[in-house]
């Protein structure tokens, strides 16, 4: 009797590129590694990259290698293959290897609702945690395989070649909390290849037009002026970044500026960075565009929605749309904050709060991962003594009000 197999599908966001491979069900779960190095964060726009060997035969490997996917030479040993239209990173190419020449970004893998493939991916190792300075996403990825699953091994640098951290390792706690203000006025925003080179300024009341309803009221901490840091499980964000759970912070487009400049309330009219997603899209598509935009490009991922990315290294940079044109979702991985990958001097993280777009992964193999990240983020928040952030406090008050009104 032939052994049953599971078909894996890797697909980019615009569906221009689709690849399939079969794996014996007995070989599941496939083993994945997360990399938290500075380069991976700036190349994905996420807090890390995540990949696993692509279980294709020789013909399947050649299909990927000979495809029209764009190439970005990441290092002497490895090349990223991504879609040039929507920016989705899909594979790592390892030219010097005789076996496993390619590995797939786990975020590119399609969801499976078959109960027999609930454990499709097992995250075994997290490497280059040392690059994050304060742990980055490692605290909420301590148990990505569920309560009874295999624990992830943490490495300061290269896997199996650097110091291994204990599983219960906790990063430094002497960092600004959600309720503490910072003197940092702006932070650099760059992709891996530095083709996108911008700055993000801390929000201030002067950045909003006079008479404008406060667009920042739900995304900016009113006391610290830090932007909300969120956890996002939506299908589009994971495919566009190659990472299963994405992290955004939020800002007004008026907080953005070109490197070496300071944003102003009149930035758009004084030759500065566009003050809305509508203006940014028009500027990027203009016949004679400003050279300071560098490699920044955009993709219309759904009606009225634009994803902005680096056309050279594939990094997610912004998300914006016509519904709230003045607001920018900023990819956390492209921030270069002096206090580390989480940029806590600039970001108020919603640790332990409900992850957005959870319905996208309901009933799939990613549901356990999302539940684990939520619970681990909350456990770490409590261990660290990190207060609930402004957004979570507000949401919990709203729920309490609804509950009392309903009763």
pLDDT at position 265 is 47
* Residue 92 near residue 103 (C-beta atoms within 8 A): yes
* Residue 205 near residue 11 (C-beta atoms within 8 A): no
Nearest Cα residue to 377 out of 400, 359, 354, 401: 354
- Kindly give the parts of the chain with pLDDT less than 50: 174-176, 211, 265-269
Cβ-Cβ contacts under 8 Å for 236 (sequence gap 6 or more): 13, 301, 302, 307
- Model confidence pLDDT, tens digit, residues 345-364: 999 999 999 899 999 999 89
How far apart, in whole angstroms, are the C-alpha atoms of residue 260 and residue 35? Answer: 30
Element (H, E) at 62: helix 58-65
What residue spans in the chain does CATH classification 2.170.150.70 cover? 5-165, 186-401
> What SS3 state is found at 59?
helix
Q: Residue 160: left (phi > 0), alpha (psi -120 to 50), or beta? A: left
How far apart, in whole angstroms, are the C-alpha atoms of residue 109 and residue 52? Answer: 10
CATH code for 5-165?
Answer: 2.170.150.70
* Tokens found for residue 59: 């013909």
The predicted model scores a pTM of 0.93
Looking only at the bridges linking them, the beta strands covering 164-165 and 153-155 are: antiparallel
pLDDT at position 406 is 67
DSSP state of 105: E
* Tokens found for residue 227: 């932007």
DSSP state of 99: S
* Tokens found for residue 332: 């956390």
Of 2.170.150.70, 1.10.8.590, 3.40.710.10, 1.10.1580.10, the CATH number of 186-401 is 2.170.150.70
pLDDT at position 268 is 38
pLDDT at position 182 is 75
- Model confidence pLDDT, tens digit, residues 122-158: 999 999 999 999 999 999 998 999 766 788 999 999 9
- Model confidence pLDDT, tens digit, residues 261-320: 765 544 433 558 999 999 999 999 998 999 999 999 999 999 999 999 999 999 999 999
């Amino acid at each position: 009797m032939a052994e049953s197999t599971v078909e894996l599908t890797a697909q980019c966001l615009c569906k221009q590129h689709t690849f399939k491979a079969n794996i014996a069900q007995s070989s599941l779960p496939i083993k994945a590694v997360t990399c938290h190095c500075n380069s991976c964060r700036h190349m994905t726009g996420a807090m890390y990259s995540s990949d696993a060997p692509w279980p294709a035969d020789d013909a399947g490997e050649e299909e990927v290698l000979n495809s029209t996917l764009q190439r970005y030479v990441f290092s002497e040993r490895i090349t990223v293959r991504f879609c040039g239209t929507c920016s989705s990173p899909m594979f790592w190419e390892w030219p010097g290897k005789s076996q496993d020449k390619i590995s797939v970004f786990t975020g590119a893998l399609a969801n499976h609702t078959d109960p027999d493939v609930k454990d499709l991916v097992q995250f075994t190792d997290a490497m280059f945690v040392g690059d994050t300075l304060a742990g980055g996403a490692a605290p909420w990825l301590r148990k990505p395989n569920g309560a009874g699953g295999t624990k992830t091994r943490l490495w300061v640098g290269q896997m199996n070649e650097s110091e291994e951290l204990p599983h219960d390792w906790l990063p430094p706690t002497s960092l600004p909390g959600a309720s503490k203000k910072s003197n940092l006025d702006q932070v650099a925003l760059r992709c891996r290849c530095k083709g996108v080179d911008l700055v993000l300024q801390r929000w201030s009341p002067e950045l909003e037009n006079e008479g404008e309803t406060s667009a920042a009221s739900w995304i900016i901490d009113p006391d610290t002026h830090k932007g909300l840091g969120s956890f996002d499980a939506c299908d589009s964000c994971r495919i566009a970044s190659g990472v299963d759970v994405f992290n955004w912070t939020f800002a007004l487009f008026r907080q953005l500026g070109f490197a070496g400049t300071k944003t102003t309330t009149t930035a758009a009219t004084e030759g500065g960075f566009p003050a809305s997603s509508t203006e940014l899209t028009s500027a990027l598509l203009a016949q004679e565009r400003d050279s300071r935009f560098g490699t920044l490009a955009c993709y219309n991922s759904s009606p009225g929605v634009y994803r902005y990315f680096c056309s050279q290294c594939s990094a997610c940079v912004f998300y914006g749309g016509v519904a709230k044109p003045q607001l920018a979702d900023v990819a956390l991985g492209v921030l270069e904050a002096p206090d580390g990958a989480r940029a806590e001097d600039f970001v108020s993280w919603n640790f332990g709060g409900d992850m957005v777009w959870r319905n996208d992964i309901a009933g799939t193999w990613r549901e356990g991962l999302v539940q684990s990240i939520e619970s681990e983020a909350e456990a770490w928040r409590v261990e660290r003594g990190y207060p609930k952030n402004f957004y979570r406090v507000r949401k919990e008050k709203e729920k309490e009000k609804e509950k009392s009104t309903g009763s």
